[in-house]
């Protein structure tokens, strides 16, 4: 694990722990502001980082509004459009969403928005559970390079990137933050 502890020369800090916390608080406030019927909102994370981000946003909203929003898990692996094209098969895991979805607003929560293909798969997965009133998208980082007509409703930070760079996110450990890593 020494590798992941020492940042390579080419990594740039995008957000430290404080900035990350502020971004999540702002997203939480925006969710409250945009959803007058807050009790209908479900925060559905895409494993695994999306689940943790969703849990934190729910915690902040609970502190402000005294409402505990239900959390969901959306497995996108079995809805991807590139099965059989990748060398490594994505790991699937059970989805869970509070049912029925009919009058609810499902907010998809993910760490990084890149090509948009994961979100497309998530939309597909959610609609197999039912027909929510609305679906919104919250991401911590939007790094551009979309390949599909998808945009986020809530963005922690917009980061211009090159396609071969990676965004590294650390959550739930001593040193939290977001880095831009250049492949060397």
Partner 1 sequence: MQPLSAEQTMTTRWNRKDLLGLRELSAGEINLVLETADAFKQVGTREIKKVPALRGKTLVNFFVEPSTRTRTSFELAALRLSADIINISAEASSLTKGETLKDTARNLEALHADILVIRHSSAGAPQFLAERVSSSVINAGDGAHEHPTQGLLDVYTIRERRGRIEGLNVAIVGDILFSRVARSNIFALTKLGARVTLVGPSTLVPREFEKFGVTVSHDLESVLPQADVVNLLRIQHERQRNEYFPGLGEYIRLFGLTRERAKLLKPDCLIMHPGPINRGVEIDSELADGAQSVILDQVTNGLAVRMAVLYLCGGIAA
Report the interface residues with partner 1, using CB under 8 A: 1, 4, 47-49, 52, 75, 77-81, 83-89, 91-96, 124-125, 127-130, 170-173
Q: Please tell me the total number of residues recorded for the chain in this structure.
A: 184
Answer yes or no: are the C-beta atoms of 120 and 127 closer than 8 Å. Answer: no
What is the distance between the alpha carbons of residues 114 and 22, in angstroms, rounded to a whole number? 22
Q: Measured from the CB atom, is 124 or 165 closer to partner 1?
A: 124
CB of 118 to partner 1, least distance (A): 14
Q: Measured from the CB atom, is 34 or 170 closer to partner 1?
A: 170
Helix (H, G, I), strand (E, B) or coil at 33: helix
Output DSSP code: residue 148.
S
Percent of the chain that is helix, strand, coil (3-state, to 5): 30, 25, 40
Q: Measured from the CB atom, is 66 or 87 closer to partner 1?
A: 87
CB of 51 to partner 1, least distance (A): 8
CB of 172 to partner 1, least distance (A): 4
CB of 129 to partner 1, least distance (A): 5
Q: Measured from the CB atom, is 10 or 128 closer to partner 1?
A: 128
Query: What would the two tokens of residue 122 be?
Result: 């998530």
What is the distance between the alpha carbons of residues 175 and 69, in angstroms, rounded to a whole number? 28
């Amino acid at each position: 694990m020494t590798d992941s502890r020492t940042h390579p020369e080419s990594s740039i800090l995008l957000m430290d722990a404080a900035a990350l916390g502020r971004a999540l608080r702002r997203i939480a406030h925006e969710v409250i502001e945009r959803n007058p019927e807050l009790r209908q909102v479900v925060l559905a994370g895409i494993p695994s980082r999306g689940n943790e981000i969703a849990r934190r946003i729910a915690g902040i909203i609970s502190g402000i509004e005294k409402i505990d929003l239900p959390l969901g898990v959306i497995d996108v692996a079995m809805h991807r459009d590139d099965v059989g094209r990748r060398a490594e098969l994505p790991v699937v895991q059970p989805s869970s969403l509070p049912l029925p979805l009919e009058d609810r607003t499902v907010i998809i929560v993910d760490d990084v928005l890149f090509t948009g293909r994961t979100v497309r798969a998530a939309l597909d997965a959610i609609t197999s559970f039912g027909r929510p009133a609305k679906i919104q998208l919250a991401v911590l980082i939007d790094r551009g390079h979309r390949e599909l007509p998808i945009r986020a409703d809530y963005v922690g930070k917009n980061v211009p990137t090159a396609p071969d760079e990676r965004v590294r996110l650390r959550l739930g450990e001593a040193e939290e933050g977001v880095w831009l890593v250049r492949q060397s």
